[in-house]
Amino acid sequence: MSAASGAAGSSTSGVGTPGRIYDVAGIGVGPFNLGLAALAEPVDGLDAVFLERRDSFDWHPGMMLEPAHLQVPFMADLVTLADPTSPYSFLNFLKQTGRLYRFYIRENFYPLRAEYNQYCQWVAGQLESVRFGTDVREITYDDGVYTLSVDGPAGPEVLRARRLVLGTGTSPYLPAACDGIVEAAANGGGVVLHNADYLARKSELQEQRSITIVGSGQSAAEIYYELLQEIDAHGYGLNWVTRSGRFFPLEYTKLTLEMTSPEYVDYFHGLPEEQRDGLIKSQKNLYKGINSELIDAIYDLLYAKSLSGVVDTRLLTHSALTGASWDPAAGTHTLQLRHEEQGADYALDTGAVVLATGFGYREPGFLSGVQDRIARDGTGRFAVERNYSTGVEPGEIFVQNAELHTHGFVTPDLGMAAYRNSCILREICGREIYPVEQSIAFQEFGVPAPALVPA
């Protein structure tokens, strides 16, 4: 499909066939690009390939705690909000795996996190366009075509595509203040880990005299609750540290949810860059808070344990991590903290550290050969257009979950993924494949249009 024609079907058949030019190559297969693959699959004449370096789909395996569930309803699956009739819906997954009635009787709209992972694996296993074990090493561009040098299961290979969709996802963020203890732990000195590795190293954590969790989001709360449940059996001390003023809940009221709408994305995208950056910092409770039921469960558990005496746990707010060190002789980490409201410094000793400090986008190295094809803003970030394109040519390079600074806090929201993929498919195909909603909110986010006055 050429950029000008908007018509699919320019490619020849056969994976890796010499001369084959895909209409689009998706790089990275997390939920967002997997949803795009599922929505693209039935589109006649659209030749797409999706490449993932991992051997299989596995979504945040370190946080598959047994009771943990999504913070969005099941309708926010890979396809339903774009195409409710798709065979790749979550409800069809439940039907095909014999669990639909159990889910119905459960009377809970929020799938378990492990259940959602199984659903995505089920979808991925049905899509011929998705190729696992394929690592993109380099990309070059010439005469309207991107050439991808990849390492696949059969060895080095070259693929070509007219468009790219970057879905490489985010990586664990480790604060610079922890560089020293992270390096020491990598060399066998102490136990320091990001929450992405929590389950794999949980038993190692519970062998320590004390554990400190840094961060105040959903992941931090889930880990704290689980470790608090088992504190008596293992006898460790447990600390929970956040620089926020409180352990705040995720705001999930219905008028707030309208901010995950096309209208709000329009409004946010139209703001000046500096204003958008300021808004993102102020909106964390809209997408980084804790489920209120979990906050209540933590309090109830603390209350129940306090009946038997003092609980060996501390919850420390307003506390920013400014430095950290490892003492091999004592076998402890010392965290340097600053109480930001009181302007006072203090130290906390701990046996192990869990950094529930979130994830951040890292631009993949394979883009080095096509830097001249990427549009940038004043700070060097992707300059992402409203249609999710960031190429110097319209509709040539698209991004998934790399546009927080241009499209707002809805960027990582699973519930808006089908909408974004509908927009991307519209740009790729030159026509609307799935109806793209324009207006769903009751609110008006910008200056109201002048009222029409009858003549």
In CATH terms, the superfamily for domain 24-171+359-429 is FAD/NAD(P)-binding domain (3.50.50.60)
Query: Residue type for 359, please?
Result: F
What DSSP string describes 343-375?
TEEEEEEESEEEE---EEE---GGGGGGGGGB-
What pLDDT, on the 0 to 100 scale, is given for residue 335? 98
If 0-12 CB within 10 Å is exposed, 13-18 middle and 19+ buried, where does residue 449 land? Answer: exposed
Residues forming a β-bridge with 321: 337
E strands within 44-134?
A: 48-51, 130-131
Exposure string of 127-150, with b = 16+ CB inside 10 Å and e = fewer, is: bebbbbebebeebebeeeebbbbb
**C-alpha–C-alpha distance, residues 194 and 359, integer Å:** 10
Lowest mean pLDDT among 57-66, 74-83, 239-248: 57-66
pLDDT score of 49: 98
Q: Annotate 9-40 with DSSP letters as a single string.
A: --SPSSTT-TT--BSEEEE--SHHHHHHHHHH
Residue partners of 257: CB distance under 8 A and separation at least 6: none
Which of 220, 221, 169, 222 has the alpha carbon at shortest distance from 193? 220
9-59 pLDDT per residue, tens:
444 444 556 689 999 999 999 999 999 999 999 999 999 999 999 999 999
Alpha carbons within 13 A on the beta-carbon side of 101: 1
Q: Whose CA is closest to 238, among 374, 354, 401? A: 354
Q: How far is CA 438 from the centre of its chain?
A: 24
Residue 329 has pLDDT above 50, yes or no: yes
Question: What is 183-236 written as a DSSP string?
Answer: HHHHTTSSEEEEGGGHHHHHHHHTTSSEEEEE--SHHHHHHHHHHHHTHHHHT-
Give SS3 for 249: strand
Name the pLDDT band for 276 (thresholds 50, 70, 90): very high
Question: pLDDT by residue (tens digit) across 115-173?
Answer: 999 999 999 999 999 999 999 999 999 999 999 999 999 999 999 999 999 999 899 99
Q: What angle do CA 10, 14, 20 make, to 5 degrees?
A: 40
Element (H, E) at 320: strand 319-327
Domain boundaries, the chain: 24-171+359-429, 174-250+288-355
Express each pLDDT in 134-143 by its tens digit. 999 999 999 9
What is the Cα–Cα distance from 261 to 254, expressed in whole angstroms?
A: 12
| pLDDT tens digits, one per residue of 331-361 | 999 999 999 999 999 999 999 999 999 999 9
Q: What is the dihedral of CA 166, 401, 360, 73, to 10 degrees?
A: -140
How many CA atoms, within 13 angstroms, populate the side-chain half-sphere of residue 223?
34
pLDDT at 10: 44
Whether residue 226 is predicted with pLDDT greater than 50 in this model: the reply is yes
State the pTM of this model. 0.91
241 φ/ψ angles, rounded to the nearest 5 degrees: -120, 135
Bridge partners of 335? 324, 348
Amino acid at 264: Y
Q: Which two tokens stand for residue 385?
A: 């257009």
Q: Look at residue 453 and tell me whether its pLDDT is greater than 80.
A: no
Residue-level pLDDT at 163 = 98
Residue type, 336: Q
Please state the separation of Cα 385 from the chain's center in Å.
20
Alpha-carbon distances of 248 from 29, 106, 173, 240, rounded to whole Å: 32, 28, 21, 13
Fold observed for domain 174-250+288-355:
FAD/NAD(P)-binding domain (3.50.50)
Whether residue 210 contacts residue 236, with contact meaning beta carbons closer than 8 Å, is answered with: yes
Mean pLDDT estimate for the chain = 93
- Residue 184's pLDDT band (cuts 50, 70, 90): very high
What pLDDT does 2 receive? Answer: 33
> Three-class SS of residue 442?
coil
Ranges 59-68, 77-86, 313-322, 354-363: which has the least confidence: 59-68
Query: How far is residue 442's CA from residue 446's CA, in Å, rounded to a whole number?
Result: 13
Q: 58: Cβ–Cβ under 8 A, 6 or more apart, which residues?
A: 117, 121
Share of the chain above pLDDT 70, in %: 95
CA dihedral 375, 393, 389, 54 (to 10 degrees): -90
pLDDT band at 450 (very low <50, low <70, confident <90, very high): confident
Neighbours of 442 (CB within 10 A): 10
Half-sphere exposure of 105 (CA within 13 A, CB side): 4
Same fold, 24-171+359-429 and 174-250+288-355: yes
Specify the 3-state DSSP secondary structure of 164. strand
